[in-house]
Structure 1
């Protein structure tokens, strides 16, 4: 049931890209105005995640998921009757952003921790991939429906699907195995249900305060903000209008975006395997270098149409799209220990902040310049900025050695005096 909820939320995430051209042509709104809603959506998507996890510990998983699905459904229904650009920002940016942000990797981590004693990593990875599955399943269908029936019927249909899933969640999803009187998978005996956690949200803020006083946090956050800008930020809301500028139909463009999702899943699995065996810093440097080269080649690939060059782009770009996740999680856990998962939640917020800025800036640049060519080139250069950010991260052993040396010096100095 958790996977079904995540798949449904994933289907909402790529809809704004399908709406840019219809809303621009139908209402005469600037692309920048439309992209503002996407930017707000992405920022709230990231900022909501740490607090949604705390709410699940306090109020239970089922209640939070039910509220989240209700928010995305209501937001989509209100979007279908909007008459002004600010309403798109409120309905899709705020309501859908908070709702989908509650059904992210923190939700997957909570479910895997409660229901599985063994194979938690596999379950968390599978639930994380479910979001991409939602995009893969629904994006081409939604794009075809928008071309045939206009944008409102698909949005309303998706909203109703969200309400149906919310009803199923009420009936089938439980907060903990103890609610059903069973043991977590792989455990020999049932585990008592923990009491509602208090102060979890405050702990998240305290962890952020401690992490923000360290250099590694800002290096990881800055690098991940660049990652968000050059993946979600540009692709979710600007890929479809960019493809439209080059004469590609909505269904073809959506299919290409879905292929990126397929290769993203494969790349994430391969990256997880490599992260266990190689230096994650060097992996990140390699991923950002490859991403920079693909974005540099994208204008020519789009100009060539739906042919071998564009297919090659979807393959290579897709393989490094989500590949950054395992190395960043590993680095966060190495440097922040038990607080690593919470720190990663805040680093993910930086990812979504970068995505939101890029979504708005790219659309505004398209309105100003009449095309996306300069956008691709700038993002390619920005990817190269992330390469040294990854490489200058000091390995934990070196950090510990430096700390020990500083402590020894501090101890010796008074004695010498």
Structure 2
């Protein structure tokens, strides 16, 4: 960009120019920015395809040769993440382990509870670390720990406490390996199509993983034993997931600890949003946290016990594993439809639909006995369970922005992790005490009604696709007006 154009911009004169960035030409219409910027800062903002102050810019397509490899890495990370690798197959794995070890249903439920609670403790710390030091620097070592912990079960576990120790490590690593980091990176690269890309990653990664892993687990365990199942998981995480993350996982925007640029260089844009402390004093944050906590209790409680629940009703083992796969089919439907609707309908109330669909699935599974109607219940359960994390992550970015996304979503995700442990545990205790799951199923149905009502009461978005997710590093962050609008206490 020529110096006289930069001077014209700084003098406050409107101008039209073409900016060349990465071999492509972008037409720009700009009015004077509110802050006086150097030509280097203006040029940097153009190359980042953002217009500062009151300027307007025609944004290039978000899906390009730089962002596609990032999406591939995120898909791989979600596929080999805690959902498909831990939750989807834990019923099959621990059923075989329980038979060998002589565990009760309560003990059966305690093992995933340890992992879930460990993830609940670690997720907020990892979320803040991602905001401070960057997502990549946190996720790569945690991915290795996640995979090696599964390997440890396959090699060393012969006593009950071995499983407890291994699942403790798995849970600690899962706090970083979960959706917090991947959703933060997706939100950095995509704004207009954020919901759809989140849905794509969730559908191809988590949804596909939930769909294909139960029958794969069932085949491997049936033919080679439960240790072979753990070897399989460890190999996929360490060899495939870690490699793709190391090669392609890249960020946009500046973490809090990033060094200041040298004199004369343009500063990288910083992420906009509300400060963590301000968000924690607002009602919408606690509404989102309550929604996900109650929903995860219900969805994961039913999901983890669905396989033994169906076996108790006389359902064939293969058909029961197939029902778990139908949960994954529903999850894919929920993820894709949620992403499309969230991008097209500019209100958080659209998310209520998915939680009510999940409630319908729980009711069907509760009352359908051994009929094939339970398969429809599995699909509906999957719609709710599949959409929940992506929906809440999207709402966090739109209500609070990206500045403290890791810390805020990490705290919400911590509650979800705790709930994914307490839900199955409560189901196990109810079964051991009463010989039936009915009591907890009634309670879970009430949880989902409360979750839907909480979402319906959320305020309108403050950070929409029409607003940039980054601001020039020199300009002071404008978080206070948005925070005040949230009604902080």
Aligned pair 1:7/2:102, yes or no?
no
The answer (yes or no) to whether the contact 1:50–1:106 under 8 Å persists in 2 is no
Deviations 1:307-356 (A, max 9, x none): 2x122212333233333445534543454345573423322222222222
Is 1:232 paired with 2:232?
no
Aligned mates of 1:216, 1:58 — CA distance in 2: 24
Residue in structure 1 matched with residue 280 of structure 2 by the alignment: 212
Distance 1:168 1:50 in 2: 25
Q: Give the 3-state SS of the residue equivalent to 2:436 in structure 1.
A: coil
Q: Is the Cα–Cα contact under 8 Å of residues 136 and 261 in structure 1 kept in the other structure?
A: yes
| Consecutive unaligned residues in structure 1, runs of 5 or more | 178-183, 185-190, 199-205, 407-417
Q: CA deviation at 1:97?
A: 1.6
Q: Is 2:288 the counterpart of 1:288?
A: no
Matches within 5 A, 1:12-411: 12-13=85-86, 14-55=88-129, 64-80=138-154, 81-92=156-167, 94-112=168-186, 122-129=196-203, 130-165=205-240, 168-169=243-244, 173-174=247-248, 176=250, 197=258, 207-235=275-303, 237-278=304-345, 280-304=347-371, 307=372, 309-325=373-389, 327-339=391-403, 341-342=405-406, 343-395=408-460
Query: After superposition, what is the alpha-carbon deviation per residue over 1:89-142, rounded to whole angstroms, capped at 9, x for unaligned?
Result: 2202x2112333322333323544677799665544433331332232322111
Q: Distance in 1 between matches of 2:111 and 2:187?
A: 34
What is the number of residues matched between the two proteins?
378
User: CA 1:380–1:120 in structure 2 vs 1: closer, same or farther (change >3 Å)?
Assistant: closer
- Bigger Rg, which one: 2
Cα separation, partners in 2 of 1:273 and 1:310, compared to 1, 3 Å: same
Q: 1:116 to 1:141 in 2, by over 3 A?
A: same
Determine if contact 2:313/2:369 at 8 Å carries over to the other structure.
yes
TM-score (norm 1): 0.76
Contact kept? 2:184, 2:405, Cα under 8 Å: no
Deviations 1:22-75 (A, max 9, x none): 233221222222322212322333554454355456666666444223222322
The change in CA–CA distance for 1:331 and 1:88 in structure 2 (over 3 A counts) is: same
The answer to which structure has the higher strand fraction is 2
Preserved CA contact (<8 Å) 2:93 2:217: no
* 1:150-192 Cα distance to aligned partner (Å, 9 max, x none): 312211232233332367358x615548xxxxxx9xxxxxx9x
CA distance in structure 2 between the partners assigned to 1:65 and 1:28 by the alignment: 36
Corresponding residue of 1:181: none
Task: Call closer, same or farther: CA 1:338–1:346 in 2, change over 3 Å.
Answer: same
Cα separation, partners in 2 of 1:359 and 1:118, compared to 1, 3 Å? same
Q: Which has the higher helix share?
A: 1
Structure 1 distance, partners of 2:285, 2:241, is 37
SS of 1:322 mapped into structure 2 = helix
* Aligned-CA RMSD value: 3.7
Query: Structure 1 residues 213 and 7, CA, compared in 2 at 3 Å: closer, same or farther?
Result: same
Distance in structure 1 (CA, Å) of the matches to 2:172 and 2:417: 12
